[in-house]
Amino acid sequence: MDAPVQICDMRKASSSFIGAVYREILQPSFSPDELDPLDFVLDGLAKDGSYELWGLTALDGGRPAGCILGYPYRESEVLLVGYLAVRDGERARGIGGLLAEEAQRRWYKQPGLSLVVAEVEDPRYHAASGGIDPERRVAFYGRLGARIIAGPNFQPRLEGEGRKRVHDLFLTVLHASDGVISSEPSVSAQNVADFLQEYFVACGEGGDWPQDDEGRWLLDWYRSRDRVGLQPISEYAEAGIPRSPFGGTS
């Protein structure tokens, strides 16, 4: 009988192990504009790092088969599941689900966190490429119960020369503390705005973000209303998500 898949804490792993996970699993699963540089990931996972990053790796026979990274934003009380990926050839074995379940058990109810979110490519604007299929990602997050925040979103310009913002990403809710989501259902637009402010500054857009028209448009959209509706990610085709009016395309 095959040995069960083991889940290990990446904060206790060596830098060489983390580097292997990054090169073999994360790099093939995300575009360069979507993926934090390796040194940024190593810094966050280090005990004395300059910021906080959580990570879990699935080991199959001692070999890394998948990983998940979580970015806690303490001021806004939001945890961003930044990356969840499985090695090519290992998908459809339930490894992604195991990682998501373990992250939920270990992370979601940590003190000081009220909302868990993830960014998911909108299949209407992102084509399948290199074994990565946005439709399958949507289906996976649908099984996790993800709900789309029906407002605009794009990924910040990450650290590194020549990086660009990534557009047409659903901002989805994976978990919320009691009372955060109303019966409609909806979430506080101010909470989302606070998260976006903290997220963009931390990711390299600069401490004075938003300093451009597109950034101001994104933040003002949320700050101009009280609440934003939620809908199941499986119904994304009917989601009326505003797109950037500044020509940002993925």
pLDDT in tens, 190-240: 999 999 999 999 988 988 999 999 999 999 999 999 999 999 999 999 888
> Is pLDDT above 70 for 98?
yes
Largest CA distance in the chain: 58
Average pLDDT value for the chain = 93
The predicted pLDDT at position 212 comes to 94
Dist. CA 220–CA 33, nearest whole Å: 24
Please name the residue that has the structure tokens 């993925």: 250
pTM: 0.94
Q: What is the pLDDT of residues 104-131, one digit of tens each?
A: 999 999 999 999 999 999 999 999 887 7
Q: Which of 119-133, 144-158, 235-249 has the highest mean pLDDT?
A: 144-158
Kindly state the tokens that stand for 166.
């990534």
The predicted pLDDT at position 131 comes to 74
- Identify which of 11, 35, 14, 12 has the alpha carbon closest to the alpha carbon of residue 25: 35
Dist. CA 216–CA 232, nearest whole Å: 28
Dist. CA 221–CA 203, nearest whole Å: 20
**What count of other Cβ atoms lies within 10 Å of the Cβ of residue 212?**
12
The predicted pLDDT at position 44 comes to 97
Confidence of residue 1 (pLDDT cuts 50, 70, 90): very low
The predicted pLDDT at position 141 comes to 96
The predicted pLDDT at position 250 comes to 42
Q: What is the pLDDT of residues 156-193, one digit of tens each?
A: 999 888 899 999 999 999 999 988 998 889 999 999 99
> Is pLDDT above 90 for 152?
yes
* Terminal-to-terminal C-alpha distance of the chain: 45
> Is pLDDT above 60 for 49?
yes
Which CATH architecture fits 1-111?
A: 3-Layer(aba) Sandwich (3.40)
The predicted pLDDT at position 2 comes to 64
Element containing residue 120 per DSSP (H, E): strand 115-121
Q: Where are the domains of the chain?
A: 1-111, 114-250
